[in-house]
């Protein structure tokens, strides 16, 4: 150790000694003078451990006064002095004990004692005590302050690195030249199960989820082969405890002083939270959070892909548009929580019924879409297959669901549009499927319909007509016609007001065409109000006419009008404004009105009936009204539908129906009106059955009032 030290602190010591020998021999310098030139300090102790020699460097380096050493003091004196100066710290008696212990030990063993300490001035000195052959010792001192500073800086940097790796979530790693892990520090180093899993292995030897094939690692291996740095190489592992983690590795080559590759070193980082956050964002961006199905944006992508696939393969694909028939009512009646459950259940049923590769999405609200691909190259066959799936979906959704003890019915209306190429935009395909879906609704709901071009044509026309209708009312194109209602003796008892639209270019648009349209858009409220006002003004005018003053005027009402909360008030308002006698007004309702909220209907009818207004049930026999309700409605008249009147002479069945209606009306205390009487034969047959009022071309066609 001391040899090493000497050779280390006296570089080229042999050559230096030879040079010194030469200088002394030549007499240019005395040995003492030479020793004073040394950068090392020494003190020679005699056999009693008194100072017997020293060089000038000893005085300077140890900061001892010459007077002290000149007096040949015991080593104890020197130590005492150093202690007083603050160069040697600790208990003095103890210090002296240790000095003597080492002097004896050095003499006994012949091995030098090497030690180091820092003086009050901040010098770090390395001392060595050696035994001299003739007894006594020599003590040398070397100023190693610089060396000590380098060492402590090194230690500090090592500590800094350690605390960095300890504190941070990252870890430090090293590979050997074969890319095998040889070392982990920090987080990874503390986890035995993890280090066990990786140490001695190359990164690609550890099974990973995202890079399962050897070629997945080619890019990293190429970078390493070129001794390049690599940054954030992301690997996903399943840990023994089942956790799935993402690590990002960055590394840089490690070379020795000759520039030879010793391996790689770098840092690893657990990026699982970031990856999870990314996945959550992805989910939010592309999936519907309520049902987990694709959202509109994601579905757009799928349809785009399906279009390219269909263009390549020549196989037709289909988009099924599914709308729940009464979802709004469910939401209103049971609340949103139940509504949400219905939507989730619907999503599950859809998933259960279609193939796994069929994509399902929710566009929002109660609108779902299913994408069916690879149906067939033949259009008819494709349509048939899509229809089969559509029917399967319908059958699955038609089943009542039980939510919180409630049996809920959420039947679907389904529209299907086929597509094969890439020309159309998803929105256009969707619009076609949507139109077909409306057709299902029009067909009575809980149905599957296909889009065909005529549908589109009709839709365009409908939109056009709706616009024209509003304009037409403003321009006075609507006119009320009247058709007489007569008694058994042919005397006019009243009129039915029938609306006509005298269209400037389309001639007359029949009510069967524009009334449903007006109902669909809600325009019927405006139109119906206008009809009522016209009719009541007419009634008021008849009052002054001796021929007409006792006539009744029938006005047709739409279900939508009756559903308005202010229905009763608005009728009463019109009656008051015009001064019409309520007892002359007869309102005609159809049975479809009884499908919804019967109690509300009854209450409104009662309120008006109390003022004398009469009610007739129109087109009776064609609907599906439960006879039970009939009894509860304040109806005064039943109108036998034209279809029974037409064949009343030829078809015994129709005659039987007409007779049954007449009997029923009698038992309910209602008056029957036969509609569509075109011949005298029909008139007489019905009169013979006891019918009291008649209406039809036989007595008069509808004409302007």
Catalog residues that contact ligand C2E under the rule CB under 6 A: 483, 498-499, 510-512, 515, 528, 531, 556-558, 588, 618-619, 642, 675-676, 678, 695-697, 702
Helix (H) or strand (E) holding 62: helix 56-62
Supply the minimum distance, in Å, between the C-beta of residue 674 and ligand C2E.
10
Within 8 A by CB and 6+ apart from 381, the residues are 375
Taken as a whole, the chain contains a residue count of: 705
Query: How far is it, in rounded angstroms, from Cα 637 to Cα 671?
Result: 5
When the beta carbons of 434 and 618 are compared against Mg ion, the nearer one is: 618
Question: Residue 552: how many CB atoms within 10 A of its CB?
Answer: 20
**Do residues 673 and 645 touch, judged by C-beta distance below 8 A?**
no
When the beta carbons of 418 and 640 are compared against Mg ion, the nearer one is: 640
If contact means CB under 5 to 8 A according to the sort of partner, which of ligand C2E, Mg ion, none does residue 696 touch? ligand C2E
Within 8 A by CB and 6+ apart from 124, the residues are 116, 117, 118, 143, 144, 145, 147, 148, 149
* φ and ψ at residue 12, rounded to 5 degrees: 60, 40
If contact means CB under 5 to 8 A according to the sort of partner, which of Mg ion, ligand C2E, none does residue 363 touch? none
Supply the minimum distance, in Å, between the C-beta of residue 358 and ligand C2E.
43
Query: How far is it, in rounded angstroms, from Cα 667 to Cα 705?
Result: 35
Across-strand partners of 137? 45, 131
Catalog residues that contact Mg ion under the rule CB under 5 A.
556, 588, 618-619, 675
Q: Which two tokens stand for residue 429?
A: 């395909």
Supply the minimum distance, in Å, between the C-beta of residue 532 and ligand C2E.
9
CB crowding 560-591: b at 16 or more within 10 Å, else e = bbbeeeebbebbbebbeebebbbebbbbbbbb
Rounded to an integer, what is the distance from CA 670 to the centroid of its chain?
Answer: 61
When the beta carbons of 329 and 678 are compared against ligand C2E, the nearer one is: 678
When the beta carbons of 69 and 498 are compared against Mg ion, the nearer one is: 498
When the beta carbons of 446 and 483 are compared against Mg ion, the nearer one is: 483
When the beta carbons of 287 and 530 are compared against ligand C2E, the nearer one is: 530
Supply the minimum distance, in Å, between the C-beta of residue 592 and ligand C2E.
11
Across-strand partners of 371? 319, 359
**Do residues 287 and 298 touch, judged by C-beta distance below 8 A?**
yes
When the beta carbons of 499 and 657 are compared against ligand C2E, the nearer one is: 499
When the beta carbons of 288 and 675 are compared against Mg ion, the nearer one is: 675
When the beta carbons of 591 and 618 are compared against Mg ion, the nearer one is: 618
If contact means CB under 5 to 8 A according to the sort of partner, which of Mg ion, ligand C2E, none does residue 515 touch? ligand C2E
Query: How far is it, in rounded angstroms, from Cα 649 to Cα 250?
Result: 97
Supply the minimum distance, in Å, between the C-beta of residue 551 and ligand C2E.
17
If contact means CB under 5 to 8 A according to the sort of partner, which of Mg ion, ligand C2E, none does residue 436 touch? none
When the beta carbons of 581 and 678 are compared against ligand C2E, the nearer one is: 678
In the block, which residue shows the tokens 């002290």? Answer: 68
Supply the minimum distance, in Å, between the C-beta of residue 572 and ligand C2E.
19
Supply the minimum distance, in Å, between the C-beta of residue 593 and ligand C2E.
11
**Widest pairwise Cα distance in the chain:** 170
**Do residues 449 and 415 touch, judged by C-beta distance below 8 A?**
yes
Supply the minimum distance, in Å, between the C-beta of residue 364 and ligand C2E.
33
* φ and ψ at residue 208, rounded to 5 degrees: -130, 155
Supply the minimum distance, in Å, between the C-beta of residue 670 and Mg ion.
15
Query: How far is it, in rounded angstroms, from Cα 628 to Cα 197?
Result: 79
Query: How far is it, in rounded angstroms, from Cα 608 to Cα 614?
Result: 8
If contact means CB under 5 to 8 A according to the sort of partner, which of Mg ion, ligand C2E, none does residue 468 touch? none
Query: How far is it, in rounded angstroms, from Cα 195 to Cα 201?
Result: 10
If contact means CB under 5 to 8 A according to the sort of partner, which of Mg ion, ligand C2E, none does residue 676 touch? ligand C2E
Supply the minimum distance, in Å, between the C-beta of residue 352 and ligand C2E.
44
């Amino acid at each position: 150790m001391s040899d090493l030290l000497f050779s280390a602190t006296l570089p080229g010591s042999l050559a230096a000694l030879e040079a010194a020998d030469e200088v002394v021999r030549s007499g240019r310098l005395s040995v003492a003078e030479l020793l004073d030139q040394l950068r090392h300090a020494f003190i020679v102790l005699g056999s009693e451990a008194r100072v017997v020699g020293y060089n000038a460097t000893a005085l300077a380096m140890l900061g001892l006064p010459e007077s002290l050493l000149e007096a040949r003091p015991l080593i104890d004196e020197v130590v005492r002095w150093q202690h007083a100066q603050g160069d040697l710290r600790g208990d003095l008696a103890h210090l002296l004990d240790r000095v003597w212990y080492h002097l004896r030990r050095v003499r006994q063993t012949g091995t030098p004692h090497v030690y180091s300490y820092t003086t009050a001035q901040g010098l770090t000195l390395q001392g060595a005590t050696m035994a001299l052959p003739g007894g006594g010792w020599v003590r040398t001192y070397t100023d190693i302050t610089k060396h000590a500073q380098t060492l402590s800086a090194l230690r500090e940097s090592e500590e800094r690195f350690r605390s960095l790796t300890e504190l941070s979530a990252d870890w430090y790693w090293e590979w050997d030249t074969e890319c095998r892990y040889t070392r982990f520090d920090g987080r990874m180093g503390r986890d035995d199960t993890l280090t066990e899993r990786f140490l001695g292995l190359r990164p690609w030897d550890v099974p990973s989820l995202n890079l399962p094939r050897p070629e997945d690692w080619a890019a990293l291996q190429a970078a390493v082969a070129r001794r390049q740095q690599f940054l954030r190489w992301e690997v996903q592992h399943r840990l023994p405890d089942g956790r799935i983690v993402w690590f990002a590795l960055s590394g840089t080559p490690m070379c020795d002083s000759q520039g030879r590759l010793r391996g790689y070193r770098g840092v690893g980082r657990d990026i699982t939270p970031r990856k999870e956050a990314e996945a959550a964002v992805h989910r939010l961006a592309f999936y519907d959070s309520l049902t987990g199905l694709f959202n509109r944006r994601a579905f757009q992508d799928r349809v785009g892909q399906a279009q390219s696939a269909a263009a390549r393969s020549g196989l037709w694909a289909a988009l099924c548009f599914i709308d729940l028939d009464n979802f709004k009512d469910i939401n209103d009646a049971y609340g949103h929580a139940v509504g949400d459950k219905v939507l989730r259940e619907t999503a599950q049923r859809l998933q259960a019924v279609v193939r796994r590769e069929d994509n399902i999405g929710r566009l929002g609200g109660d609108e779902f879409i299913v994408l069916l691909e690879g149906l067939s190259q033949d259009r008819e066959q494709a349509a048939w297959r899509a229809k089969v799936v559509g029917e399967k979906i319908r059958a699955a959704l038609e089943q009542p669901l039980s939510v919180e003890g409630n049996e809920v019915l959420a039947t679907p209306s389904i529209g299907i549009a086929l597509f094969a190429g890439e020309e159309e935009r998803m929105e256009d395909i969707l619009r076609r499927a949507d139109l077909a879906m409306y057709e299902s609704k029009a067909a009575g709901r809980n149905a599957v319909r296909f889009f065909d071009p005529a549908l589109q044509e009709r839709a365009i026309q409908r939109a056009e007509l709706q616009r024209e209708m509003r304009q037409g009312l403003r321009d006075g194109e609507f006119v009320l016609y009247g058709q007489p209602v007569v008694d058994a003796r042919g005397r006019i008892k009243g009129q039915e007001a029938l609306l006509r639209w005298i269209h400037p270019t389309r001639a007359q648009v029949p009510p069967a065409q524009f009334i449903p349209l007006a109902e669909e858009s809600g325009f019927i409220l405006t139109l119906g109000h206008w009809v009522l006002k016209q009719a009541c003004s007419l009634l008021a005018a008849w009052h002054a006419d001796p021929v007409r003053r006792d006539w009744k005027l029938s006005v047709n009402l739409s279900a939508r009008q009756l559903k308005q909360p202010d229905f009763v008030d608005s009728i009463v308002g019109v009656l008051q404004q015009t001064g019409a006698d309520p007892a002359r007004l007869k309102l005609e309702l159809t049975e479809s009105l009884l499908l919804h909220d019967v109690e509300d209907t009854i209450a409104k009818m009662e309120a008006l009936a109390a003022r004398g207004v009469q009610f007739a049930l129109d087109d009776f026999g064609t609907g599906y009204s439960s006879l039970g309700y009939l009894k509860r409605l304040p109806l005064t008249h039943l109108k036998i539908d034209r279809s029974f009147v037409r064949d009343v002479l030829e078809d015994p069945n129709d005659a039987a129906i007409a007779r049954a209606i007449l009997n029923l009306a009698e038992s309910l205390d209602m008056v029957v009106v036969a509609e569509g009487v075109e011949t005298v034969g029909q008139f007489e047959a019905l009169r013979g059955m006891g019918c009291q009022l008649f209406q039809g071309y036989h007595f008069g066609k509808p004409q302007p009032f």
